[in-house]
Structure 1
């Protein structure tokens, strides 16, 4: 890698961040309202919100981290992350978004914790989810690690320095702009991601279709026969039908219950725009999820998983492939797109997590203690604390990962949406006001998820150095759903769901 390449890359990155800061300045809303900060002024087009949502759902995980799983474990990983999970997400978006939006608009919710608290008229439930939202900090860590790997490799720079710069810059402009900034910047990032997705998918077409589909599978089979197996018994994550299909279907459905995903529907001003918004979202998502094919390209390019004489870590495989495969200036564009993929979701998380912690955990507790609170000031302080945690935890994952930062992030994120699934599902598909359904189901989900994972329950977990969070999440979803249904059958407490009282 030449010095001129690094200098050019640095100039392009500075230019890109300057554009984002300009958009922050132009789109910022001067307000002391946490609601406006969280959901903006709802004056966005269906396409801009769809681009923002598609970018938020896929992020650095799809563009940078998940292809690494496919490079290591082959076809079984692709079926899980490139077929099963995406289709479950499409179905869940179409089914959940309209109903969530309807109730969300009725009660002016700004987060999932706020929504479930109002939906079930329960302050304790709102506080519980405000607390549980802290688990999503693990997702911030995943994105920070992914972006740090890409940028530090491109600039040949120290990873800690790059990590700190990324966190400081992005957290700063999100504190200024909020939801309005996020939608505009996400739209630009999504357009860049579309360009890069096409470049990445096209980059390996000669490898993938060298002798037709059979030639591609034959090449993988020559490297390792487990790479072409539907289920990879040698992997810790894709060993059988339950892990590959059942777990990823359940996870894909439940993944939509994250606050930075469902609350995007509240940014649409008119109900008659929702169908177009969903269509645009799914079309763009199909392209984005296809990017995991790059994992195959990378493994065929690095059969022994070595690059420049050094072994590749899973989270660095995509970065190495970009530097290996693309000419200098095209490579810079791809690097910019990978950075945009991370920023798109990171912005949504920075906007939603501190807002949820502030609005749904700190402020209600303060009100219960009869303390005077200033939500916007608290929100800024929480954002700073989350930023510091992101740096500390991300650096630990850079230095000492367990296979991949993806495992660390999945453990936290999967636990959250396993807990959120029953409250959201019953909230939008039933008329029950029984607050014990979401409370009991959520607690069962959390206890099951972390119990299965850390106590190594089930044969899938016993004696495993690398454990699969999807197993813990799937079992947690099943246990919590059974709990919720049992309570619902015994005591549904059906009432008019529009008569909410603010918790």
Structure 2
């Protein structure tokens, strides 16, 4: 294994990582003492400030994908990726987040839902629909895998350890402490992580100043030397940024729909006071705007490693940022950056484990095996918390096995694997969430059909390779998701307005 880390870096990183683990465990123990029910685990039993929740939102929306994986795509394909991941998608997300949060919070607090699947079930008065969405939420395991791989790449580079053991350590530690704390500890750990991530984002973005010695034109000249399309806004040689349909249209559609993920849209339910929503959105969006720019670091990494090799060995795409960090910074700055990258991963991983385990417990296992739970409320709460812990163990085992498989034989990047699962999930979630908030009297059969159509279309386009865009060895899940979203919305609108006309 080629290591760029010095012995001093390795030792210092060990010390700081252990300290970081102790701080997290302190908050977990503090939070766990207040968890008396599955509701406390899901939404917390404490009143949180809009700043803390805004930071938690920023931390859980920008994960290892933003800080570790996506800059790798930019390192490979250039400016077209910056336009796509750094400009178009964030703008679409900010608009969608603002509109959706206010509507969802209104209906979410009226509906009294702990999870996205529960919200669906209550909104459309159907247990079957809630169970369907709880089952679909298993697709989010692909995102857990992306984060585990990203964290492993960073830590194995910084500590010069075999990735297998690092992955095992990450899974045991994170899934272990998430069995106890839930939202009470998560909002605080997320706020600390977001603060660290903010500092690290600034450090990473300022690390490229050396490439601007001759101004922006000098920087652009260096990018042009890398390849014919590297410094253009489209890159026909890539499979993600070939033209403006992929870069702009698809990313706007996905940016709008991406907010329909449980660990994002349900964050606003942590605020007890309606007046705090605007502050929460302002804090969250300002911090997110900085985080999304970290993809630019991919350009710096490519200028640092023009051939994308270290000591003659090719750097895997998911390891480019780790290699850049370890080679670019002094010992102490490297440690700070490594901590920030770990925070980027952990913050979203915690949110995913918390929302996914709550969904599987409350919306899949409880409705199906409800008769096995005690009639006594205190006993039932204890049983639910135990089931929730067992679900987290299940997620840990599946997450570990899939992460190891993605590290050994990725299809270019774990990012593609994760996008395929996550995009399919929110493609199915978009119509029911949007209709539930903006279209009155939408029928269950309409949104159920639209959700099923979205999943079928997404995977048919991706694996059936139906479009000219989908004929490559590695395909863009964003195109499959865009088509799925458009068809799903069209089906939903036709069924809704067609039914209303029939009744007129």
Bin of the TM-score, shorter chain as denominator length: over 0.9
Hey, what does 2:148 align to over in structure 1?
Answer: 144
| 2:291 is the counterpart of 1:304 | no
CA distance in 1, matches of 2:240, 2:350: 29
Hey, what does 2:408 align to over in structure 1?
Answer: 399
Match for residue 239 of structure 1 among 236, 242, 255: 242
How big is the shift at 1:42? Answer: 4.8
Aligned partner of residue 176 in structure 1, secondary structure: coil
How big is the shift at 1:324? Answer: 1.4
CA distance in 1, matches of 2:14, 2:100: 42
CA distance in 2, matches of 1:396, 1:492: 49
Aligned partner of residue 351 in structure 1, secondary structure: helix
Match for residue 331 of structure 1 among 326, 334, 337: 334
How big is the shift at 1:31? Answer: 3.8
* Matched-pair contact (CA < 8 Å) for 2:8–2:331: no
CA distance in 2, matches of 1:433, 1:295: 44
* Matched-pair contact (CA < 8 Å) for 1:113–1:126: yes
| 2:478 is the counterpart of 1:470 | yes
Give the alignment's TM-score, normalised by structure 1. Answer: 0.96
Deviations 1:360-383 (A, max 9, x none): 11111224xx44373222211111
Match for residue 109 of structure 2 among 102, 105, 108: 105
Hey, what does 2:126 align to over in structure 1?
Answer: 122
Count, aligned residues: 489
Hey, what does 2:188 align to over in structure 1?
Answer: 184
Hey, what does 1:318 align to over in structure 2?
Answer: 321
* Matched-pair contact (CA < 8 Å) for 1:42–1:268: no
Pairs within 5 Å for 1:374-453: 374-453=383-462
How big is the shift at 1:268? Answer: 0.5
* Matched-pair contact (CA < 8 Å) for 1:121–1:433: no
Give the alignment's TM-score, normalised by structure 2. Answer: 0.95
Hey, what does 1:278 align to over in structure 2?
Answer: 281
How big is the shift at 1:325? Answer: 0.9
CA distance in 1, matches of 2:500, 2:489: 14
Hey, what does 1:33 align to over in structure 2?
Answer: 37
Hey, what does 1:456 align to over in structure 2?
Answer: 465
Pairs within 5 Å for 1:67-86: 67-86=71-90
Hey, what does 1:372 align to over in structure 2?
Answer: 373
RMSD across aligned positions (CA): 1.2
Hey, what does 1:501 align to over in structure 2?
Answer: none
Hey, what does 1:485 align to over in structure 2?
Answer: 493
Aligned partner of residue 494 in structure 2, secondary structure: helix
Hey, what does 2:379 align to over in structure 1?
Answer: none
CA distance in 1, matches of 2:419, 2:207: 29
Deviations 1:28-80 (A, max 9, x none): 24444211110102500000000000010011100000000000000111111
* Matched-pair contact (CA < 8 Å) for 1:97–1:265: yes
CA distance in 2, matches of 1:77, 1:166: 29
Q: Which runs of 5+ in 2 are unaligned?
A: 375-382
Aligned partner of residue 257 in structure 1, secondary structure: coil
Between stretches 406-415 and 37-46, larger displacement belongs to: 37-46
Hey, what does 2:297 align to over in structure 1?
Answer: 294
Hey, what does 1:496 align to over in structure 2?
Answer: none
CA distance in 2, matches of 1:408, 1:178: 27
Q: Which runs of 5+ in 1 are unaligned?
A: 494-503
Deviations 1:73-95 (A, max 9, x none): 00111111001111111011100
CA distance in 1, matches of 2:479, 2:449: 21
* Matched-pair contact (CA < 8 Å) for 2:52–2:187: yes
* Matched-pair contact (CA < 8 Å) for 2:172–2:396: yes
Hey, what does 2:378 align to over in structure 1?
Answer: none
Aligned partner of residue 334 in structure 1, secondary structure: helix
Deviations 1:117-151 (A, max 9, x none): 10011111101100000000000000000000000
Change beyond 3 A, Cα 1:3–1:74? same
